[in-house]
Amino acid sequence: MHKIAYLAVLAQVHGAIISGLCNDKNTSTPLVKGDQTYVCININDKYRAVFTPVVDDFVQLRVYNSYKDSRIENSSFASYLTLSSMTSRSVYKLYTDQTGKAFPSFTAVITVVDGLIQGISWDDGCYLCNSTSCASNIYSAPKVPLVNSAFGSGNTCFHNQTACSSTENSCDLGIFVGWTGTDYNGNYLSSAGMRVSQFQQYSVTSYVDDLKSKLSSLLPRF
């Protein structure tokens, strides 16, 4: 079995979100390697979890108990997510559908040029599962699949409802995030390269957001 050793588990505390950007200010700030920044997981364009990782650290953003939260995992609707930072936002991924099937693990790459985010892409593949539990998962909008696009197949591993319910927290959402490009000072960002080793034993800082207290209203778009 592959195991991931968590270097640190940090509970992040955040205040209310007052702007549309994934940021505490209503402005986009150039990224500097080693500085703290903002990355948001947005669910159904309605809720967001805010994380404050360090630029160019390869991290995992985890939404604790997300599979148990009826605002997210609900038999009457599917949940789609995006990842955003500053003024950029990824395309959508399905997290759970009405049957309780879940795609719990994703990898995102934030591309930066001179400190400005150019885009946030999904980098997926079914390395940890076989074809029976692998499906295309990439959407331009909730319920609108992106097919034959430059975004690729979006292949992602899933678990069914039985598997998700039988092991506590096994289908909680976790998103690996890495950066690539150059920061505001022209320094290279290279942590996205770590994703190729993500399924081997290594250490990664994990940021955990506890939904009960911190899943806040998403205003208005990012």
Ligand X SMILES: *[C@@H]1O[C@H](CO)[C@@H](O)[C@H](O)[C@H]1NC(C)=O
Q: Are 64 and 211 in contact (CB under 8 A)?
A: yes
The yes or no reply on residue 217 touching ligand X (CB under 6 A) is no
- For ligand X, the nearest residue by Cβ is 70
Q: Least separation, in Å, of the C-beta of 11 and ligand X?
A: 25
**AA identity, residue 38:** Y
Whether the CA torsion 150, 183, 201, 4 is positive or negative: it is: negative
Query: Judged by CB, which is closer to ligand X: 117, or 177?
Result: 117
Count other C-beta atoms under 10 Å from residue 127's C-beta. 12
Distance CA 173, CA 62 (A): 6
Closest approach of Cβ 187 to ligand X, in Å? Answer: 28
Q: Which of 1, 16, 130, 220 binds ligand X (CB under 6 A)?
A: 130
Please report, as residue ranges, which positions from 135 to 164 form the binding site for ligand X (by CB under 6 A): 160, 162-163
Phi-psi region of 202 (alpha: psi -120 to 50; beta: other; left: phi over 0): beta
Binding mask 62-101 for ligand X (x = CB under 6 A): --------x---xxx-------------------------
Element (H, E) at 51: strand 47-51
Give least dist CB 219 to ligand X, A: 9
Total chain residues near ligand X (CB under 6 A):
13
Query: Residue 69: how many CA atoms within 13 Å on its side-chain side?
Result: 20
Q: Which positions lie near ligand X, rule CB under 6 A?
A: 18-19, 26, 70, 74-76, 130, 132-133, 160, 162-163
